[in-house]
Amino acid sequence: MIWAEKEVPSLELCKRLKELGFPQSSGGWYWRVDEYKKWLSFYTDSEYKHRIPNEIFIKAPTCREMIEWISKVEPYHIISYKSITPKRLAKELICLAKNRRVKFKEVKDEKETNC
């Protein structure tokens, strides 16, 4: 396990966030998936636009990014440092999106996606 896997959710949770409309156009960590394997890669905005053919890219938000989304709708939500895990934060964000408390928007003229 690389250190980034301690900071971002699993591929399965990231797929669910993507289905719910989590923005996929910014730079940062992405799961790269091809027909043979999956791995984590870091991309800047310019690199992300030049995707490698035949690969799927799924945004892997960091704990900090997920906390920012959660705090927009739960400003007084207390998160203990001991309980912060990418899995827990992703599940909480998924729950908020499913209950329509969080509405993800794509940036730069991409259409709004609500769950």
User: For the chain, what is the mean pLDDT?
Assistant: 82
| Residue 113 confidence (pLDDT) | 38
Q: Domain residues of the chain, as ranges?
A: 3-98
Token pair of 25 as six digits:
């156009």
As a whole number of angstroms, the distance between CA 103 and CA 91 comes to 15
Q: In this predicted model, what pLDDT tens digit does every residue of 40-70 receive, in sequence order?
A: 888 877 666 566 777 888 999 999 999 999 9
Query: Any idea what DSSP says for residue 39?
Result: E
Average pLDDT estimate for 71-78: 82
**pLDDT of res. 30:** 92
- In this prediction, residues 8-26 reach a mean pLDDT of 94
Instruction: Give percent above pLDDT 70 in the chain.
Output: 84
Q: What single string gives the DSSP state of each residue in 60-98?
A: ---HHHHHHHHHHH-TT----GGG--HHHHHHHHHHHHH
